[in-house]
Structure 1
Amino acid sequence: MRVPLIAGNWKMNGSLALVEQFGQAFAKADLSSSMEAVILPPSPYLAAAQTAFGKTSLGLGAQTVNPEPSGAYTGEVSASMLSEFGVRYVLVGHSERRSLYQEDDKAVLARAQAILKTGLIPVLCVGETLDERDEGRTETTVLNQVKAVFDMLDAQQRQHMVIAYEPVWAIGTGRTATPEQAQEVHAAIRACLVDYDKQMASRLRLLYGGSMKRENAAELLAQPDIDGGLIGGASLKVDDFLAICQSVG
């Protein structure tokens, strides 16, 4: 059975006060033991979050990583450094990293491999732009991004991946794919994974990452191939993020 995962990507937002607020709220929260909730704060807050979340069910993730284990890479963070703060999940291929920092499929693969080598779990973000959707290239775009990584991993490594489908046109715009649109792409991703390994395809978690909110979370999470959410803006509001976590049924 796939364990639902709700991951909150704070992006370049947050504060020490917000970290404490989440820690206090989730220490009292009544969440199902059959789901995972994870916060991905900016890296300067990882130590504080590790402490604040210590007595809660909240896990920790990171937003990006350098593929090198160490070296003269000013401003960068390695996977082994992240692991020292209790990080379990790391995003790779987020649309903002692809567009703002020109991280192509080769760069995404290198990061995923470095994360796996350290024993952490990559969350591979894939998705299409509005132009690509309007031109009928959604499935081709998304599956090519999946294959660019999965083709280069071995069978064991593929078992430890998570994939987040994030239609670029729905990130931070307030627009959301309908549950049917989201399910269609998730089903295509899972069908693609069957070509690698049928059992792996049935077990691997697929998250939806396009403006999931407390108002639409339950309907999206009810879809058969949506196993959780990668939450953006709503993850900065304790009550909203908690409500999304409680939508997991």
Structure 2
Amino acid sequence: MTALPTLIGVSLKMYFSHARTVEWCRAVAQLARTHPAILEGEAELFVIPSYLSIPAAREILGDLAAVGAQDLAAEDVGAYTGEVSGAQLAEFGCRVVEVGHAERRRLFGETPEVVRRKTDAALRNGLTPVLCIGEADKKSPTDAAAECISQLDDALADARRAQNSGPVIVAYEPFWAIGAPQPASPGYIRPVCASLRDYVRGLSDFPHSTVIYGGSAGPGLLSHVGDDVDGLFLGRFSHDPAAIGTILDEVRTHSTRVAESAPS
């Protein structure tokens, strides 16, 4: 089986001004035009800026990276002041959209029902949801994986009933590790992601779905977990575009090692 490209995603949250987002996108575009991991198809990028910067990001990044949004409405049209629909995001050329991030759940009270409706809204509008899941408390990797699989099934329930299919990017981030003095260790991450990936690959109604890790992910991590994840979802570590270059170097090294170890 041909190895899939490693997904490297970035959410800029609300850290950057529009001007800084433009500057950052230009630097990432230049990196993507020249880095061997991108040129050889070993890595693919997606970038999720704030809403107001989506058009500029699309213009700058073009086909070098998929551009997406950090949230979407559960409805496609109507009197929903302040909301942005999946239909509007698709019209602007977005390809991915975050759903159910831990901050949305904690700060804005998003319930499992809201996550289900937004996941369905993304899929019915042809967007790939970056579906964020994670266990609330640290536990054994086996129990953590079981909790995450239960969250995943629940999030997909409305889309299943409506027969809205498509790929899903499952972004695993243990909630207990967010802002903690010590992030989750590779020894914890790997078995959870391996179980999730085995499960996701069996979802025939959501083909070509993948699992990426997003808990304080940064340079150096892929070298330790790359065999059990399909990519990384980066936060503040990606604010310096050079860090993305370092991670793409790791993708290149990992891809070379996997190719050399594959049966001839």
Deviation at 1:145, TM superposition (A): 0.5
> So what's the TM-score if we normalise by structure 1?
0.86
Query: After the TM superposition, which residues 75-90 of structure 1 pair with which residues of structure 2 at under 5 Å, given as runs?
Result: 75-90=82-97
1:211 paired residue number:
216
Query: SS where residue 76 of structure 2 aligns?
Result: coil
1:27 paired residue number:
29
Instruction: Report % sequence identity.
Output: 32
186-195 vs 152-161, greater mean Cα deviation? 152-161
Q: Kindly tell me: are residues 208 and 69 of structure 1, through their superposed partners in 2, closer, same or farther at Cα, counting changes over 3 Å? A: same
Amino acid at match of 1:246: D
170-179 vs 118-127, greater mean Cα deviation? 170-179
In structure 1, stretches of 5+ residues that fail to align are none
Whether contact under 8 Å (1:41, 1:61) holds in the other structure is yes
Query: SS where residue 128 of structure 1 aligns?
Result: coil
Structure with the bigger RCO (C-alpha within 8 Å, sep 6+) is 1
Deviation at 1:194, TM superposition (A): 5.8
2:147 paired residue number:
141
Q: Kindly tell me: are residues 37 and 199 of structure 1, through their superposed partners in 2, closer, same or farther at Cα, counting changes over 3 Å? A: closer
Tell whether 2:150 aligns with 1:150: no
Tell whether 2:25 aligns with 1:53: no
2:129 paired residue number:
122
Query: SS where residue 91 of structure 1 aligns?
Result: strand
Q: Kindly tell me: are residues 27 and 90 of structure 1, through their superposed partners in 2, closer, same or farther at Cα, counting changes over 3 Å? A: closer
Aligned length: 243
1:132-182 alpha-carbon deviations (Å, 9 max, x no partner): 537984233212111102344349755411101011123344633222311
Query: SS where residue 237 of structure 2 aligns?
Result: helix
Alpha-carbon RMSD across the aligned residues, in angstroms, is 2.6
2:260 paired residue number:
none
1:218-247 alpha-carbon deviations (Å, 9 max, x no partner): 323x22x30111111112221112322332
> So what's the TM-score if we normalise by structure 2?
0.82
Query: After the TM superposition, which residues 196-235 of structure 1 pair with which residues of structure 2 at under 5 Å, given as runs?
Result: 196-197=203-204, 200=207, 203-220=208-225, 222-223=226-227, 225-235=228-238
